[in-house]
Amino acid sequence: MSKPVRVRFAPSPTGPLHIGGVRTALFNYLFAKKHNGVFYLRVEDTDQTRFVPGAEAYIMEALDWLGIAPDETVGKNEKFGPYRQSDRKEIYKQYADELIASGWAYYAFDSAEKLDELRKTAEAKGQTFIYNHSVRDTLDNSLTVSREEAAQRIANGEAYVVRFKTPVNETLYLHDIIRGDIKFETNLLDDKVLFKGDGMPTYHLANIVDDHLMKTSHVIRGEEWLPSMPLHVLLYKAFGWEAPEFAHLPLILKPIGNGKLSKRDGDKMGFPVFPLEWKTEESTSMGYRENGFFPEAVVNFLALLGWNDGTEQEIFSLEELVQKFDLARVNKSGAKFDPEKNKWFNHQYLQKQSDTSLATAFEKVLADKGISTTLDVTRIVSLNKERANFVNDLWDLTDYFFVAPTNYDEKALKNWKEDTSGLMQQLIAVLEGISDFTSSNIETVVKEWLTVNEIGMGKVMQPFRLSLVGKMMGPHLFDIVEIIGKQETIQRIQKAINTI
């Protein structure tokens, strides 16, 4: 690679960051780190009508949480700053002027009403009105009025925009790292607005100017921007600048059915599509963080939405992803979003956590439930985590350790036969006699008692479990017995005898 790698994530702060945006940020991050380059974040807020307060802070917080914070951004290493386009407002006009001077752009005065009328007339004839080479010479712009007149009208304060003068009858030969060679006819393009009379550039102009000034080597972004690539390449040509390389990432598709995963799908189908929770006055959208996902798990499953390393490997640390990431292995076709698989990833990362750190997290859950305990939470976590996807799941899996069962599973009750209460009473006596109250010793003593007295295992073990747990689940029974202790065990058996 010739140029030093500098890539950017350029979100518009119009709301919370959708998971597709996070994936774009991640792929940029991975690419930058892989090539010892720079990953920067530029806030594209030129469209003031779509500005949403809090969105920018949300984006920064989300990337921080995921561990993929940019090297340069607003307030951080502003080497080519400012990094917020609204703070760069003064920069763009000269570039619009430059394109006017070189004949690559023109002023257009057509009013919104006039354009609307043209649109409607075309529609009535079953056609679409496009402001392009075929009509621009008939409209109200500096191609049809003299330069002096145009200058005078602007001086008089008349509303105008600057439009790109798309070349006619040219074939563009474009290259995308993921999609390969793309041929495009310029006649299909409209003359996009680059600059507005209110002094603000549009996305297209600001994006190109900034990518150039901020020395962007590669533009890695979502597929929805592919249609803008011809215009962007033409803009680089118009300015006489070397264009960056382009890579358009595949869409993220709905889990079922067709089409792009939308911001609404998550809340509709009960899974998060945002990294962090997002609250507005009307509604709250779920976030991965608040739903108990580990950031490493989110990064891992996002990395596999459209990329793989060519092997069956699915679990990758961030460092490994950096090492292995390759744009050449990114798919062209859309990647289905699978919320069940996301849970699976979280499950895997939960198993990797140390028992002590899981216990610390679980103690918070217990405290929220008003439970203070002297039990060995670390051991409880260690015995039960295998079945948990989230720290919160641990509560459902282990609540009986902390709170004695108050009712018993209907189906399991059939194991409580006529002679069960008597056997349970004998069991109490056996337990009372054990002084080394450890799991393996209790097991040895109880089994010896069963063997000597020729009592079937199931006859005792099932009601025993039912007494302690309330249902037929949980880890090795004698581990439970040791953890809750002799006194509590006996109390629970007694209670079962009395109630069942």
The residues that are catalytic are 263
> Toward ligand GLU, which CB reaches closer, 85 or 285?
85
Closest of 189, 190, 185 to residue 169, by C-alpha: 185
Whole-number minimum distance, CB 204 to ligand GLU, in Å?
9
Distance CA(496)–CA(405), nearest Å, equals 9
User: Residue 42 carries which side chain, given as an amino acid letter?
Assistant: R
Residues 6+ apart with CB under 8 A from 358: 350, 381, 385, 391, 394
Residues 167 and 185: beta-carbon distance below 8 Å: no
Contact status: 223 vs ligand GLU (CB under 6 A): no
Tokens of 360: 């610390």
Residue 7 carries which DSSP code? E
| Closer to ligand GLU by Cβ: residue 5 or 446 | 5
Specify the stretch interacting with ligand GLU by CB under 6 A; choose among 7-15, 118-126, 337-345, 370-378: 7-15
Residue 364's CB is within 10 A of a number of other CB atoms, namely: 10
* C-beta closer to ligand GLU: residue 11 or 272: 11
Q: Using the minimum distance from each CB to ligand GLU, give the nearer residue, 95 or 203.
A: 203
Cα 138 to Cα 141: distance, rounded to the nearest angstrom: 9
Specify the stretch interacting with ligand GLU by CB under 6 A; choose among 10-18, 88-96, 183-191, 312-320: 10-18
Residue number, 10 or 200, with CB nearest to ligand GLU: 10
**Binder among 5, 6, 7, 10 for ligand GLU (CB under 6 A):** 10
- Say how far apart CA 483 and CA 474 lie, in whole Å: 13
417 assigned ligand-binding residue: no
List 6, 12, 15, 200, residue binding ligand GLU (CB under 6 A): 12
Q: Could you give the CA distance from residue 240 to residue 218 in angstroms, rounded to a whole number?
A: 17
Residue 216 within binding range of ligand GLU, rule CB under 6 A:
no
Q: Which is nearer to ligand GLU, 245 or 363 (CB)?
A: 245
Binding segment (CB under 6 A) for ligand GLU, from list 9-17, 168-176, 236-244, 405-413? 9-17
Integer angstrom CA distances of residue 384 from 293, 345, 431, 486: 18, 18, 24, 21
Binding mask 130-159 for ligand GLU (x = CB under 6 A): ------------------------------
How many CA atoms are closer than 13 Å to the CA of 441, on its beta-carbon side?
9
Q: Output Rg (C-alpha) for the chain, integer angstroms.
A: 33
Candidates 5-13, 141-149, 194-202, 390-398; binding stretch for ligand GLU (CB under 6 A): 5-13
Residues 43-62 that bind ligand GLU (CB under 6 A): 44
CB of 440 to ligand GLU, least distance (A): 60
Least gap, CB of 227 to ligand GLU (angstroms): 12
Check if the beta carbon of residue 299 is closer than 8 Å to that of residue 318: yes
Q: According to CB under 6 A, which one of 80, 225, 239, 402 is a site residue for ligand GLU?
A: 225
Shortest distance, position 85 Cβ to ligand GLU, whole Å:
9
Number of residues that bind ligand GLU (CB under 6 A): 8
CB of 327 to ligand GLU, least distance (A): 15
| Cα–Cα distance for residue pair 269/32, rounded to 1 Å | 34
Greatest pairwise CA separation for the chain in angstroms:
113
Q: Taking a C-beta distance cutoff of 8 angstroms, is the pair 141, 165 a contact?
A: no
Burial group, residue 443, by CB count within 10 angstroms (0-12, 13-18, 19+): middle
State in angstroms the smallest separation of the CB of 46 from ligand GLU: 9
To the nearest 5 percent, what fractions of the chain are helix, strand and coil? Answer: 50, 10, 40
Residue 11 lies near ligand GLU (rule: CB under 6 A):
yes
CB of 381 to ligand GLU, least distance (A): 41
Residues in the chain: 500
221 binds ligand GLU (CB under 6 A): yes
Please say which residue, 10 or 189, places its beta carbon nearer to ligand GLU.
Answer: 10
Q: What would the two tokens of residue 104 be? A: 């690559």
Strands 245-249 and 218-222: parallel
Q: Figure out which of the listed residues 132, 207, 420, 489 binds ligand GLU, where binding follows CB under 6 A.
A: 207
Which positions touch ligand GLU (CB under 6 A)? 10-12, 44, 203, 207, 221, 225
Residue numbers belonging to the annotated binding site for ATP = 263
